Structure 1
């Protein structure tokens, strides 16, 4: 099965020094865990030229996917800062539902950054350009 393609959430383009433009985002290939994949997007935060809101959605697979239960979530913002969340969990049971939607906001200095979202063995990367 060919890898699915995605389109950037933000309009492509580069800012000139005299004109402030929203950051741009170009998705990197998504990784999959069987029928499960993570989709990573970025959008500008209204009122802030250099802040981005990242959303990661786990798509596919069962809601009680044991491979994704009680796993750490890592956001690497590509600028030397990262955030890791490790849940405290009870033992997995078939009734358990995994979280599927994740969101973080991050402020940047001008530049190009590769942002990575990881959850268990799933990973997605997104290259963002901040004017």
Structure 2
């Protein structure tokens, strides 16, 4: 299952494959570029809002958590990681995060990429450093 209606940069084609939405893809690239330039998610949020760039649902205000999740989303490099969450009880239908209870499957080249692998990997490395830096600051 993949949420296509609220996935910035893509729409579902008639064949069921993700298709790039060029105008939205530019926003995704801008978010990654701003992060690589050293801007945190709060500065990126401010940039998007000051420039009148709306969210995929048409809102004027961006969520920092949405931006953060976008920066970690492997779908932007054409991959799909399956079974990130699962439904342990079909009666309740509630999904839970898969923390190793089930195997996950990575499908490469599942659809057209918006972000190149080098940029994506650089962002992941920077995010890891920022997370570590935040943990050090909390200790101090």
TM-score (norm 1): 0.23
Q: Choose between structure 1 and 2: higher strand proportion.
A: 1
TM-score (norm 2): 0.22
Q: Choose between structure 1 and 2: higher helix proportion.
A: 2
